[in-house]
Structure 1
């Protein structure tokens, strides 16, 4: 059997936080200049703090090991802050591991952030050739692929325009086209594809599937979309707090990841959750599940009423709130999305703390376990976005109100309807 294209052996990555100048040596020319200025001009100002402060260490990754053969597609899953992007940066040679060893047998093309690898002053055309040189390709090889790259990216009209004038979507299109067409043996992609429109996302996923199965490329892919992970990837790597909690068939790892939300209850404490995204100008402290009369519900029946109560706190009093709840099934398919703005809800400006709620007169869900994402915007800016914020268990019920339990036929939701003769 041939050697793996990727070998990751006991890799760890440590960062030091809260470290003052003088606690460590500069590692680059820029850091040297900064070191000199601060030590010369600010000498003594923060001396007491510097002497008393011990740098805090945080391990973004610990003891991560795996191997990938040619043509394998690995889906890396986990919460925000679990170490996924750090792992991809190590594999892309952007940063070095603190411990362990990585062996890469082939050229690596990575797409970690919009515009990564592009020089803003150069045109799209010049950047395509620049990336080819970085991958070790001859100019004639890049020239042979150039038309395919431009056609795929759909930016031919702007190919001789400096990249600094591109929109984020245009940068993404060209960056993905370059990464996918310049024949790297290993393709590393973070969830940057979420920037693109749905049609281009589909086009990219089809291309990744093609280069993996038809051309034998090895792909590492990070996404919070479990449906995409399931479709594209054959194996999964589940990270939590920098450590591997699961590795193997992708379906098993998705089930383990989604199941880690915890036990279903009528109330979920979110105050200790620190893996949210957003400005942090507001926090959601807990979620409570009740019926429309305010009676706590740990389990909901199909067709039953449901109220979700969100207790919040904020320092931005008077801001206009916009709430959103997305509910996903165990296959990570979104079954519905509730948005206060879409519903035309006129919620009062926020006080320093309070409770808002959304009510559903008849839960249209078949029996099963569901997981909810939660988002709060203040004046149009995302203040708090938490994935897998709480869970919901639905039991069989009489959705249609005809005196018997409504059977499930594999549908995502029940739709109220009537039959009659004309």
Structure 2
């Protein structure tokens, strides 16, 4: 059994909102004496709150992370998952030693190369080549070791023409290309990558994912990767850690962690309002008009929307975007593509029913994003994961007993006619 290369114990990070300090010099000195000299717990942190941005807090101390515990073994590829503000970037900064924890400890065996933000670890006045040597020196590598890797790094980055140009003249894409190439090729035991790869183009992102796979599986190095792209995480990572409001809510196999993340629905009190309309309810009904999230693929079902129009004949419509369990867009339903009469809904409260025919969606978990928009496509407000539904197989496909997942992202049963002897 391999020993952990990263061990995190009771890790917490607190930030103070607004004015820093206790209010008086004497209290600040006493706080410093108690915490830094005597090593006692900071009394100001006892009133801290979890980092839930959706509610108004009572304290000016916010826990970006609270009581985090996990182990990562050598060679693991781990996806860090969570919504914006969940604490993902804070965790990576703590692991990279960019900032220090408020409480708890991190034990790391080996050198860490991290790519957290565009230009992390680069000196803007130095050339690309000089920054490669600078990053290698920071990792503790000798000049000969860096030189041996130099051509490989430059070739992977694709910025050879500008390698002797100061990086302050690089575009964000060039920055990321070179920064990733440096972090991935220099000899560190642990590679930490934040969402910064989203800056690069699709081809380079694919190239980076392939390289990270080689690093983890081929070279036995450990990779921590933050991304909102579930397909990338599922294809590359074996394990996952799910964060919500600074707390770990799931830690295990990547498939199970992704499913847990996508099934989250934060609309416990679901009302969205702007100047023109209010979305009061979004629910899913099966063929018996029973509200549920579990739908057989062999039955029709429907989306039910309740909204209030606050102005007479406003120029508004809506879009329902449906995503699969990899967070890939499967289809979108836009009111402007269906019925122009939606533009002439009178002022008042309305219920809208959208019928979905059977054998369209393949088995699996689906999430719905919803937004109001005008005819030009301008979005008033985008709401993520207003509803979740699960499609299960009814056991019959095209009239025959069928076992297992039907291939593909959609499931269509067309009517087919055959004209013989023509």
What secondary structure sits across from 1:60 in the alignment?
strand
Q: Secondary structure at the match of 1:144?
A: helix
Q: Deviations over 1:350-397 (max 9, x none)?
A: x99998979565361134442224466788887755543321244668
Deviation string 1:19-64 (CA, Å, 9 cap, x unpaired) is: 2577488x9xxxxxxxxxxxxxxxxxxxxxxxxxx96111111111
Q: TM-score of the superposition, structure 1-length normalised?
A: 0.72
- Equivalent-residue separation in structure 2 for 1:20 and 1:204 (angstroms): 40
Pairwise CA RMSD: 4.5
Q: Secondary structure, in 3 states, of the residue corresponding to 2:168?
A: helix
Q: Is the 8 A contact 1:327 1:336 kept in 2?
A: yes
Alignment of 1:5-404 (within 5 A): 5-19=5-19, 23=23, 56-261=60-265, 271=270, 286-289=281-284, 298=292, 302=297, 304=300, 306-307=302-303, 309=305, 311=307, 323=319, 325-329=321-325, 332=326, 334=328, 336-338=330-332, 340=334, 359=354, 362=357, 364-374=360-370, 384-394=381-391
Q: When the two structures are superposed, what TM-score results if normalisation uses the length of structure 2?
A: 0.72
Which residue is 1:36 aligned to? Answer: none
**Structure 1 unpaired stretches of 5+:** 28-53, 263-267, 274-281
8 Å Cα contact 2:317-2:336 kept in structure 1 = no
Match of 1:150, SS state, is helix
Distance 1:208 1:269, change over 3 A: same
**Unpaired stretches in structure 2, ≥5 consecutive residues:** 29-57
Deviation at 1:416, TM superposition (A): 5.2
1:213: how far off?
1.5
Please report how far the alpha carbon of residue 14 of structure 1 lies from its aligned counterpart in structure 2 after TM superposition: 0.7
CA distance in 2 between partners of 1:139 and 1:342 (Å) = 62
Q: Deviation string for 1:235-273 (max 9, x for gaps)?
A: 2222222222232333333333334438xxxxx656489
Distance 1:3-1:22 versus aligned 2 partners, 3 A rule: same
For residue 135 of structure 1, report the CA deviation from its aligned partner.
Answer: 1.6
